[in-house]
């Protein structure tokens, strides 16, 4: 015990000595590096700009906040998952024969992998219906919706349409706030817009911009052309709303043109009028019902500037056009009171007409103006595969020594493609009902086209086979710019290809 007391006293004496020495060194400057002198500082007391001088911008800030805060509660994040069977690349350990569950023993080289993906959506009914893109929820096992307050709900798929790329979900939750549809026909280039969504998993991301253009051609559907915007749209924004100053939906964001995979200021949205028509059709009928006239047409361009109207190139037998006595070379000027400016506009007008409704067409035939009545029927199921494509001009036969020589100014001639079959769809995780050709090799410059892309359309012309792709490419202007509709990793976008 005495030894313990002596040891404690020794420790106390040593500690006291060290403390005295430390204080002495500080007072004499021996440990100056430990002494921190306070720095004098003065923060700015006033803003550099008087709020009175930017009253307009302050009002703009408040108004933009009010717009965003009123819209965000209606926007949801969509998270999906699906199980995919994958083959193991390693050999089975013999010990697994004794440890494996008998139910798992049937195929030891196969296991399930869960794939997750993200998207956006918007509440459009008080009952909890949500609009999104079809490619966001195509072929998934589970759909989960995250509301703006952080709650997550399981959602069920009510209906979808691959061609127009829209899907309707339903969550059983009371008190959701739906957004109103605006009139996309009234939208003009230059109008202010806001895009809200879930890009790269960042929920409730808000970007703004303007309407850059209207009437950009849709991928394969005549149901409605795209709105173009410079509001930043990135992967994960798909299915989210594009809204106007009144907080109304004027479009559903669906595609981009990009070299990097992210936003480069060129995004596309399905117009709200087309979305609303598709929504009502899906809810009432379980599918989208498109109106059908039954003509092949070409633009009214005769070596000069294009004028309003479309020329009837052919009339499909037993179609509404045939019953209305339309003839080849008729020029359709008006449809149901709307001026027809081009082929895509006519397709959109026809597709959205109520079935079995009689509409009036104003024609020019042999220089004379006349009016006829046509009763719009439902578009046949196979119509999109043989739909209205302008006839390609016949080119003179080349001399034998010039045949089969590649056009060096057209980059698409060096693109090698293959058919899209069930194995390709599964291996690349593509939408189940995709139609197009698979890019297998790209030699030289072909824009941002990559091996593994599926080309669905070239300059608005659907390509559903290798032979069809080669035929379309052969008919292209080698000095022109081509726009390809491409599906890459379940994301649809556009690729621009310019001549060499």
Domain boundaries, the chain: 184-285, 304-386, 409-497
CB atoms near residue 372 (< 10 Å): 17
Q: Which CATH architecture has domain 304-386?
A: Roll (2.30)
pTM score of the predicted model:
0.64
pLDDT, tens digit (0-9, with 9 covering 90-100), for 156-189:
999 988 878 899 999 998 889 999 999 998 999 9
pLDDT mean over 280-295 = 85
Q: Which residue has the higher pLDDT, 489 or 74?
A: 74
Q: Is 70 a catalytic residue?
A: no
Residue from 74, 238, 263, 281 carrying the catalytic annotation: 238
Q: Yes or no: is domain 184-285 CATH 2.60.120.10?
A: no
Give the whole-number percent of the chain exceeding pLDDT 90.
32
Distance in angstroms (rounded) separating the CA atoms of residues 267 and 450: 20
Residue from 77, 120, 129, 135 carrying the catalytic annotation: 135
Q: What is the pLDDT of the chain when averaged over all its residues? A: 79
pLDDT at residue number 35: 55
Q: Which residue has the higher pLDDT, 326 or 493?
A: 326
- Structure tokens belonging to residue 104: 């798992």
pLDDT at residue number 391: 37
pLDDT at residue number 474: 81
Whether 92 has a pLDDT exceeding 70, the answer reads no
Residue from 138, 161, 165, 330 carrying the catalytic annotation: 165
Give the pLDDT band (50/70/90) at residue 91. very low
Radius of gyration of the chain, Cα coordinates, nearest whole angstrom? 32
Q: Is 135 a catalytic residue?
A: yes
Range in 108-112, 442-446, 469-473 the model is least confident about: 108-112
Q: Is 489 a catalytic residue?
A: no
Q: What percent of the chain is helix, strand and coil (3-state, nearest 5)? A: 25, 30, 45
Domains 304-386 and 409-497 in one fold: yes
Residue 237 near residue 199 (C-beta atoms within 8 A): yes
- Structure tokens belonging to residue 493: 């976008």
Write out the CATH class of domain 409-497. Answer: mainly beta
pLDDT at residue number 265: 85
pLDDT at residue number 151: 92
Q: How far is CA 160 from CA 57, 89, 283, 379, in A?
A: 43, 37, 10, 17
Range in 131-140, 320-329, 401-410, 449-458 the model is least confident about: 401-410
Residue 105 near residue 94 (C-beta atoms within 8 A): no
């Amino acid at each position: 015990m005495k030894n313990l007391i002596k040891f404690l006293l020794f420790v106390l004496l040593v500690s006291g000595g060290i403390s005295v020495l430390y204080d002495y060194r500080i007072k004499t400057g021996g440990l100056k590096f430990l002494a921190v002198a306070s720095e004098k500082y003065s923060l700015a007391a006033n803003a550099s700009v008087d709020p009175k001088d930017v009253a307009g911008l302050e009002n703009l800030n408040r108004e933009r906040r009010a717009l965003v805060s009123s819209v965000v509660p209606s926007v949801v994040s969509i998270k999906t998952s699906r199980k995919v069977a994958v083959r193991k690349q390693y050999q089975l350990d013999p010990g697994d024969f004794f440890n494996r569950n008998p139910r798992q023993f049937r195929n030891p080289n196969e296991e399930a992998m869960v794939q997750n993906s993200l998207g956006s959506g918007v509440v459009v009914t008080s009952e909890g219906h949500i609009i999104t893109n079809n490619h966001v929820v195509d072929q998934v096992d589970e759909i989960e919706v995250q509301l703006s307050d952080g709650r997550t709900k399981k959602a069920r798929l009510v209906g979808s349409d691959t061609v127009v790329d829209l899907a309707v979900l339903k969550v059983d939750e009371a008190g959701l706030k739906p957004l109103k549809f605006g009139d996309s026909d009234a939208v003009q280039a230059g109008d202010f817009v806001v895009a809200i969504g879930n890009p790269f998993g960042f929920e409730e991301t808000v970007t703004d911009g303007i309407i850059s253009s209207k009437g950009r051609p849709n991928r394969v559907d005549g149901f409605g052309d795209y709105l173009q915007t410079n509001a930043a749209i990135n992967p994960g924004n798909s299915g989210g709303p594009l809204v106007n100053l009144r907080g109304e939906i004027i479009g559903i964001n669906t595609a981009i043109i990009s070299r990097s995979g992210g936003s480069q200021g060129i995004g596309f949205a399905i117009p709200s009028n087309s979305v609303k028509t598709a929504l009502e059709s899906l809810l009432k009928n379980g599918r989208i019902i498109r109106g059908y006239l039954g003509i092949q047409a070409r633009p009214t361009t005769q070596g000069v500037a294009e004028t309003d109207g479309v020329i009837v190139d052919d009339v499909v037998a037993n179609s509404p056009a045939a019953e209305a006595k339309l003839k080849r070379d008729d020029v359709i000027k008006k449809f149901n009171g709307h001026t027809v400016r081009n082929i895509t506009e006519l397709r959109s007008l026809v597709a959205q007409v109520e079935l079995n409704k009689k509409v009036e067409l104003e024609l020019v035939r042999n220089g004379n103006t006349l009016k006829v009545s046509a009763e719009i029927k439902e578009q046949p199921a196979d119509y999109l595969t043989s739909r209205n494509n302008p006839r390609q001009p016949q080119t003179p036969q080349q001399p034998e020594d010039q045949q089969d020589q590649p056009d060096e100014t057209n980059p698409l001639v060096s693109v090698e493609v293959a058919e899209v079959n069930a194995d390709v769809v599964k291996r690349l995780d593509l939408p189940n009902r995709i139609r197009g050709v698979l890019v297998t090799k790209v030699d030289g410059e072909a824009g941002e086209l990559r091996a593994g892309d599926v080309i669905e359309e070239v300059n608005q012309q659907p390509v559903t086979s290798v032979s069809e792709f080669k035929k379309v490419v052969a008919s292209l202007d080698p000095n022109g710019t081509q726009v390809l509709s491409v599906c890459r990793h379940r994301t649809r976008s556009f690729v621009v290809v310019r001549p060499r």
